[in-house]
Amino acid sequence: MHIPVLTLALLAYSTVTFAAPKPDQPYSQWMANSFLSKSQKINQHYVASVLYEGLQRAASLHQDSALLSFTSNAVSSLVSANGTLLGWNSTYYSIDDLRVGNNILHFWNSEGRNSSKYETAATALRKQIDRWPRTPTGGMWHRDPVYKNQMWLDGIYMGQTFYATYTSYFEPSNTTAWNDIAHQFDLVEQHCRNVTSNLLVHGYDESKKAVWADPVTGGAPHVWDRAVGWYFMALVEVLQVYPKELPGYVKLRGYLAALAEGLQKAQDASGGWWLVMDEPYPGMEGNYIESSGTAMFAYGYLKGIGTGLLEERYRATATKAYGLMIERFVTREANGTLSWERTVEVGSLNTDGSYEVSNLLLLVCAPVLMNGT
């Protein structure tokens, strides 16, 4: 997935000063405060949205009032007093841009459900879904017109988690919406799932016109770990709010169970997962054990186990992944902060989708990560 070029003008970490965190904090709180202490700038929609969600969760879990206040103020700064979302274009359809709706809904809910500006902004995003360009079978395009008739696993996380959360808050009896949400997962499953490995390729083109599209399924040629990570988390998050009495719930539980099984089998002996996951690429030159996908899988397993969606037998898989994260991906700096290493910068379906082309891009982004070292 390419990082969007839309800019949120008020996301400037350089204007915020955080002291170097104390090294005796829990890792989530320690990493969050470390990031902010380094005055890094984030100016993309979904990147900032996912980051803010992580900061908010760390702050809430550990009752870090300063961190929570920072995140609340940052999200508030994205929405004007009349509910206009700054930098958002209602006629531009990129599913990444829906992700900010989760931040808005979180603070609308946690701060008393009385913010009219948050409700207005979230409703505007929800209404955009009703106008969204769709494939002939009803799938939401990843981006118009660049990725016409394409659905990516990334987009399921960006769009359907917001769609489901909004529906649970404001339209819990809207079965049309709930069915539509499940349908987005259905389409990805039909076109992207490998029933032998139980893993999913990065996305598909329903028109089969993309240079990389499989002539039968329209699917992309490879399994990219972070795309699967987005999808794994999307299943877990949507199932938190999806009505259990509807048929879609059982289907989504089945998709999650199958993927959990496939991911467990694909886990490397180190505890992590390879960037390009489909055979014969694990272990191949240029491929490597990648940190963001590993973190997503660990989260999906632990959240799934903790909420009763996944069986306890997966805990060892998650624990092994978490141990690798702490040992190999987290670096303790001399000033007491943490850094996160060994992550791929970007992956996209705007090329021919081959291992060679994708691998060249990834090596440029992360040249020291060959062969999992």
Q: Which two tokens stand for residue 319?
A: 């624990």
Decide if 324 contacts 272 (C-beta within 8 A): yes
Phi, psi for 183 (deg, rounded to 5): -65, -35
- The percentage of residues in the chain with a pLDDT greater than 70, rounded to a whole number, is 87
Is the N-terminal amide bond of 282 cis, ω within 30° of 0?
no
- Name all contacts of 74-82 with Cβ < 8 Å and 24+ positions apart: 74/10, 74/11, 75/103, 75/104, 75/106, 75/107, 76/107, 77/10, 78/8, 78/10, 78/11, 78/103, 78/104, 79/104, 79/117, 79/118, 79/121, 80/117, 81/117, 82/117, 82/120
- The percentage of residues in the chain with a pLDDT greater than 90, rounded to a whole number, is 80
pLDDT category of residue 54 using cuts at 50, 70 and 90: very high
Residue positions counted in the chain: 373
Bin 187: left if φ > 0, else alpha if -120 < ψ < 50, else beta: alpha
Looking at residue 316, what is its pLDDT? 98
| Spatial separation of the C-alpha atoms in residues 136 and 294, rounded to whole Å | 34
pLDDT in tens, 198-245: 999 999 999 999 999 999 999 999 999 999 999 999 999 999 999 999
pLDDT at 364 over 70: no
CA-based nearest residue to 27, from 342, 341, 338, 343:
338
| Spatial separation of the C-alpha atoms in residues 300 and 240, rounded to whole Å | 12
Bigger pLDDT: 43 vs 332: 332
Residues 6+ apart with CB under 8 A from 273: 225, 263, 266, 267, 289, 290, 293, 294, 297, 321
Residues 6+ apart with CB under 8 A from 282: 266, 268, 274, 276
Looking at residue 22, what is its pLDDT? 66
pLDDT in tens, 131-178: 999 999 999 999 999 999 999 999 999 999 999 999 999 999 999 999
Mean pLDDT of the chain: 88
Q: In this structure, what DSSP letter does residue 199 have? A: -
pLDDT category of residue 2 using cuts at 50, 70 and 90: very low
| Spatial separation of the C-alpha atoms in residues 328 and 158, rounded to whole Å | 28
Looking at residue 38, what is its pLDDT? 85
Average pLDDT over residues 184-198: 98
Q: Which two tokens stand for residue 335?
A: 């000033």
CB atoms under 10 Å from CB of 215, counted, come to 7
Least confident of 29-43, 164-178, 262-276, 332-346: 29-43
Looking at residue 42, what is its pLDDT? 65
| Spatial separation of the C-alpha atoms in residues 210 and 360, rounded to whole Å | 20
| Spatial separation of the C-alpha atoms in residues 37 and 177, rounded to whole Å | 41
Distances, alpha carbon 96 to alpha carbons 5, 103, 110, 145, 358, in Å: 11, 13, 24, 14, 21
Q: Which two tokens stand for residue 92?
A: 């531009």
pLDDT at 72 over 60: yes
Looking at residue 302, what is its pLDDT? 97
Tell me the sheet residues that pair with 205: 150
Query: What three-state secondary structure class fits 94?
Result: strand
Least confident of 78-92, 113-127, 298-312, 346-360: 346-360
Decide if 145 contacts 138 (C-beta within 8 A): no
Q: Evaluate the CA torsion angle 295, 328, 362, 46 in order and state its sign.
A: positive
CA-based nearest residue to 200, from 148, 291, 266:
266
pLDDT at 11 over 50: no
